[in-house]
Chain A
Amino acid sequence: MASNAVQSVKKLGVFERKGLFDKGVGALLPEAYKKFYKEWKLTEPTAVHYIPEVGKWKRDDLTGEAVPIQNIPLPLLYPKEHNRQLWGGEAVIQGFQLRDKHRRRVPHFWFPVLKRSVVYSEVLNKFFSVIVTDRTIQLINANYGFDHYILKTPACDLKSLLALGLKRKILKELEAGCPSYKDDPVIQSQLAEKYNKYLEAYTSDEIDWYGFSFTEACNRIKKQMEEGQQKIAFKHMYRAELIDKLRAAKLEEAMGQSLKSNESGLDPTWLRKMIPFSKKKET
């Protein structure tokens, strides 16, 4: 409690910048999407390109001094192409090489080795020709299948929008009870037995909002809201109102007229003669 108080005291008078979900359309996004976003962007991914040290402290070999272990991940680059491929957690690393003690450092990029291969999703019953890395295939093998790999791996490791989109599709398919196998209920039940454990982690709303980029999600919510409150042009509204009014008025009038005619018994053509601009044949 004390530390909380200290924190809040520290924050006093400090301007807090508005976050992604505090302003504009982002503020409208549902909690389900925010949860996914945290899993995707704000979680530390698995160390792929370096070997993290384990433990909290280590001793200096020479002096025996205890030093805390702080694993600071290597900054990674994700080019936009990676969103259409499955890199299995790999990324581009920009850095330098020191090839010789007496030479200036040399800039260097470490790229993942990409190749085109095929992955098969049992739930969707489809083959996908995608660009993958060796690590992706190894992870698929280690997880005993593409579906298991996609469903087990958190969004921070899947990273690419293709993988996340596939995960949403697979989850939706599982939720619907695998309609692609509607002719074969045996397989349907087998798949349910195999994969339904992964559904427990998500609510239906979370599945619906899973795997969209921030822009996509914003566009989606905007569209949804527009569809929700359908705007009608004033002219249409007023016209409808007028028609209603007129209808009501006509009804009243008709009622009144019928009463009157019964009372007076005047000829209706008399009235027509009184109307000044009526079309009348003049001979």
Chain B
Amino acid sequence: MWKTVPFVTKSISSSSILLAASSLIQQQIRTTYILKRKFPPQLHKKGSPPKKLRSRHYIYDLVEDTNTKKQEDIDVILTTFVEGLGNSGEKIKVKPQFAYNSLLLPGLAVYACPENLEKYKDTLCNKESVEYSSPNALPTIKTLSRITLSVVMNKDHPWVLKPWHVKTSFRKSGYVVPDDAITLPEKPITGPDMGLENKEFYVTVTINNKEKVNVRCRLHHWSTDIIDRIPYTPYFWEEDTEPIYPEFKEVLETLPKKVTKSVNKN
């Protein structure tokens, strides 16, 4: 079948860089069925055509089905900020399917070939072009701006609201926020004051000393004595309420309200 193979390949390789270029490709990529003859055909004489294949030479064993094999992650360089992945100029390792469909085709990223690495080297070093401090900053901002944080304070013991109270409330609700990232409103909130019960205020959280996000908080009073304790209201974040001070109203109105996903609430 391939009588002229040596001749053709020679003519091509001598005349062009075509085959030289193709040698760069890792041609060992096989994403298909890889088969093997169960009965190998007879050897043929040197220089003569291969012997005729008999039907037993068409019996194949499956060596590997590469369609079901896990593909290795590939490197791409982002050309813009992509949420949860990184800033422009950043080299990231992602799954090949995701990279091709969601990053390379829409033009959010380019292949990490040597030319592109050279080209985007400057954008990576240039910190001014960085939009967010980290790829996960934007998702965190979105989550924090959606929640209503319940700040539980004591009903009997006097207190003035401090960042560590809010930090503890954040940690109880499953958010890591250090003390120094929390900025309370300038006007101090003191208690216990049942007039402030179930009223709203806001705190400003600074992520990585860069991104600022306002978080809606609601004040609740808690008594150690079970008789004095105020019963818990389910879905308290869905009930409308007032701000603690009228100055907070402006900021609180800009924050989106938390929506409960589940329909049946009994």
Residues of A within 8 A of B (CB): 35, 38-39, 42-44, 46, 48-51, 67-68, 70, 72, 74-75, 90, 93-98, 105, 108, 110, 112-113, 117-118, 120, 127, 133-135, 137-145, 151-154, 157, 194, 197-198, 200-202
Contact = CB atoms under 8 A, between A and B. Distances in A.
Contacts of A97: 59-60
Interface string B232-258: 000000000000000000000000000
A193 to B, nearest CB: 9
Contact of A96 (B17, B41, B59): B59
A30 B31 CA distance: 37
B105 interface: yes
B164 interface: no
Interface in B163-197: none
B71 interface: yes
A142 B26 contact: yes
Interface string B102-135: 0001000001010110000000000000000000
Given A42-B3, A70-B50, A96-B59, A141 B96 contact: yes
Nearest to B57: A72
Nearest to B67: A113
Interface of B: 2-5, 8-9, 11-12, 15-19, 21-22, 24-27, 29-38, 41, 43-44, 46, 50, 53, 55, 58-61, 63, 67, 71, 74, 96-97, 99-101, 105, 111, 113, 115-116
Contacts of A70: 43-44, 50
A105 B22 contact: no
Given A135-B29, A143-B25, 12 more contacts: A38-B4, A48-B30, A50-B36, A72-B41, A97-B60, A120-B105, A134-B32, A135-B32, A139-B29, A151-B21, A152-B21, A154-B19
A58 to B, nearest CB: 12
Given A49-B33, A201-B17, A39 B12 contact: yes
Given A39-B12, A43-B9, A133-B32, A154 B111 contact: no
A152 B32 contact: no
A133 B74 contact: no
A44 B5 contact: yes
A33 to B, nearest CB: 14
Contacts of B115: 194
B111 A141 contact: yes
A95 B59 contact: yes
A93 B38 contact: no
A50 B35 contact: yes
